[in-house]
A and B are shown apart, each in its own frame.
Chain A
Amino acid sequence: MTKMEGTPKMPRRSPRKRMGASPSPSVSVSAKKSRFLSKSILKESRTKGPSVATALSMERSTSIPSAVMAQKEKECYFHIDASTIATHASRMFDNKNIPHEVSAGANESYPLILFASFNFPVCLLQACVSARLFACYDLACNQADNKSRGTFSSRVIALMPLLQALVNAEMTSLEDRDKMAGKKVIRRVHFSGFDCSSTKPPVDLEVGSHDHQQDCIAAMITVAEQIKSLVHQVQTRNSNGDTNITSLKNLVKFLKHASAEAHMLEACAKVRTFDSFVLPPLPEPDILTYISHRFFVHPVHLA
């Protein structure tokens, strides 16, 4: 997301020399190409009117070139393969017996099923780091417990309201109403959702300009309340208190291992460059279908 308020435009120069036009070192040439292709689809949908846009959205899984899809898939989401997760799991839980072999289907697309089950399927289309990270943690927990996929690990369930609140706060901060409304936004600086730097500050003169910040505040208040409730459960010696402490300790252990893993850090950095709104916005019911087509996995409705 870009903050452009109050930034005067630079005098016109050749496109290559303009500020922000130089390619970011983290974005590959093929990534730019894929963006260009997707932008052309978006442009086409705008010029041909709403009926064409609807048709495009209905057929996006087939109309978007498979090369673009593959490229987007490569650049956009976590490449945490199952063996890496199994390694993490064995380090975390000191269990050397966790098989590094991956069963059929548990390939690198696997965490995506979990994102869907976080009730935030849209986070797949956003540069949301926390959902990916927490999904990997759940995967690692399931690996450690030798449990079947598709159910949340008990270690995650205790923290689920807090984790969901954190994901929601990040997603709210990443939401850009201007871009969703199809307005032209020049991207010069990438801001992140996890630290809420992508939240748009209010503009005094413009009505409704503080809405984004208000939404973020509401989402962050939920996080603060969840933290307060977790702490309260422990302080009042609630039966869940011990579970909360153990779950948090496990999560901290996982995150510390993850931060020492170059592969994981690289994946986190890649998420940041994810430009979700290059693709046309999706109607709500289609999202799960879209994800399942795009990533070749089936959405799983978990208990």
Chain B
Amino acid sequence: MYARDFESILGRMSPSRDQSECVAESKTFLERRLAEFLGQALRFHLRRLLNPPAISYTRQPESDSDDYDDAFRPSRPPAWKSQPQSRVHELIDLQLSETGRDSAVADGSVSSLFSLALSRIYEYIGSDAFESDSDPVPLPASFCQSPVSQRGLGTHKAPIKSMSRDEVKELICDIDDVYSFLGAYNACKFLLELIRAPGVVKEVHKMGGWSAMEQHAKMLRDLDLDHLHVEDSHFSLIGYAGTMGSFFAKVEHLMSYMEPKVCLAEISILALAKRYKTNKASSPTQRQAIFRKFPHVRIIAAAISEGKARSGPFPKVVPQPP
């Protein structure tokens, strides 16, 4: 392991090395592990600041009791070493806008939703936009404008019964663009609703504040580790913003920047669904008939439903009366 690591350091020293070369490959094992630990620590601090107390289903290992049946009873550490618990879950109510059940909402796991929101923003605009003060990525002027998206299933007299692989790919790309955009917008909205709920900022400061998270996220950025552990890359957004205050300001700016296009995106995807007859208006029997006649519609329907799931599910944050 050490030999490999020192070799990778030597590789970085080589003058012929292209700077744009894959960063992950030139990193040592310990650096990759550090990226993993920073991600774990960031998640831990998020849970501590935002989540209700977790239920421990097993006993603490140091317990010396001989009663082995007792091992499966929920237990808590003694009061002197119990972590102070966040009350954020008591200050807000999470309501899913559509019928459905999300486990994070059901468990009141605000930290999971916070992390999911960060990843949606990161996937759509990347981290660079959070570093500079300029406007983030240029937004598309319109959505689903490719010929294949506009074409639909043809006319009754001349139906288009098959699509080439490239056409399907293009269509899926269009669908993906719309839902990535909507996902990022919904994420911004959720984060701002959460932080603006009365008492939340005060509670977070009472629990120790964001400083530990800011430091870890800054390390991810400074040591160029944010691409090493894909599951935690989105935390680098905080590092690029600098402080949480600046991060939320940038989220607010991003949301107002995206807002004018939201209606257009929603209308475009609805129109596409209608053109390919995958919308909810069709009954199951009708849809089965369409699937038989146009097999590629099944793929489009799956892409739309997957995109819909990806753009959410962010609940509405309703402040609780004190």
Contacts and interface: CB of A to CB of B under 8 A. Distances in A.
Given A130-B2, A195-B1, A220 B9 contact: no
Given A4-B61, A208-B81, A220-B30, A231 B12 contact: yes
Interface string B4-37: 0011011011000000000000001111011001
A47 B308 CA distance: 65
Contacts of B6: 248, 251-252, 255
Contacts of B141: none
Contacts of B216: 217
Interface in A170-184: 178, 183-184
Contact of A184 (B28, B44, B64, B77): B64
Contact of A213 (B1, B3, B37, B48): B37
B41 A213 contact: yes
A204 B44 contact: yes
Contacts of A228: 223
Interface stretch (A8-16, A54-62, A68-76, A141-149): A8-16
B219 interface: yes
Contact of A178 (B13, B37, B62, B76): B62
B47 interface: yes
A216 B37 contact: yes
B219 A245 contact: no
A219 B144 CA distance: 50
B33 A196 contact: yes
Nearest to B12: A231
A199 interface: yes
A9 B66 CA distance: 10
A150 interface: no
B54 interface: yes
Contacts of B97: none
Given A194-B1, A224-B30, A230-B9, A206 B37 contact: no
A228 B56 CA distance: 41
Q: In the complex, which range does the number of interface residues on chain B fall in?
A: 35 or more
Contacts of A183: 62
B30 A11 contact: no
Given A202-B41, A205-B76, A185 B33 contact: no
A249 interface: yes
Contacts of B38: 217
Nearest to A216: B37
Contact of A185 (B13, B62, B72): B62
A251 B4 CA distance: 11
Given A204-B44, A206-B81, A255 B71 contact: no
B3 A245 contact: no
A210 B44 contact: yes
A256 B2 CA distance: 9
B83 A204 contact: yes
A186 interface: yes
Contact of B31 (A11, A199, A224, A235): A224
B18 to A, nearest CB: 13
Q: Could you say which of A194, A196, A206, A224 has the most chain B C-beta atoms within 10 Å of its C-beta?
A: A224
A227 B68 contact: no
A94 interface: no
B288 interface: no
Contacts of B51: 204
Contacts of B225: 224
A292 B2 CA distance: 29
Interface in B276-305: none
B82 A12 contact: no
B40 interface: yes
B53 interface: yes
Contacts of A85: none
B62 A248 contact: no
Given A202-B44, A207-B83, A9 B3 contact: no
A86 interface: no
Contact of B9 (A7, A9, A221, A227): A227
A133 B6 CA distance: 14
Contacts of B41: 202, 210, 213-214, 217
Contact of B7 (A6, A166, A205, A252): A252
B162 interface: no
Interface in B219-235: 219, 223, 225
A256 B62 CA distance: 42
B29 A206 contact: no
B58 interface: yes
B56 to A, nearest CB: 6
A259 interface: yes
Given A201-B40, A230-B13, A220 B83 contact: no
Contacts of B56: 6, 205
A123 interface: no
Contact of B82 (A166, A205, A213, A223): A205
A259 B62 contact: no
B3 A204 contact: no
Contact of A196 (B9, B30, B64): B30
B223 A221 contact: yes
Given A205-B76, A205-B82, A220 B13 contact: no
16 contacts: A6-B56, A8-B58, A11-B68, A12-B66, A166-B30, A186-B61, A204-B44, A205-B83, A209-B83, A213-B41, A220-B33, A220-B37, A224-B31, A224-B34, A224-B225, A235-B13
Given A204-B54, A204-B83, A228-B223, 10 more contacts: A7-B58, A9-B68, A12-B68, A204-B48, A206-B83, A224-B30, A224-B225, A231-B9, A235-B13, A255-B6
Closest 3 CB pairs of A and B: A4-B61, A255-B3, A220-B34
